[in-house]
Amino acid sequence: MSEIENLKIDKAEAIQKYRELEETFKKLFSDAFFLWNYIKINMNSPEYYIQNSPEYKEITKTWEFDK
């Protein structure tokens, strides 16, 4: 094989590996972003602390919810 053919093959392999890595990073960052927002919204909200307090659980255990 000539040097040009080798470079074309190397370029094609590099592009393929880049696309695979790009997909992997997109998946990782989307998962991380989702988890960060979930934690930020749910764990840092006053509702989270209120709903998990013993007083709230004591009050609401007698409530009937529509099913």
Higher pLDDT, 1 or 36: 36
The pLDDT tens digits of the residues spanning 34-52 come to: 877 777 666 666 666 667 7
CA-CA distance, 34 to 41, in Å (whole number)?
Answer: 10
* pTM confidence score: 0.43
**Helix/strand/coil for 19:** helix
Do the beta carbons of residue 56 and residue 50 sit within 8 Å? yes
pLDDT at 67: 46
Give me the sign of the Cα torsion angle 24, 30, 34, 39: positive
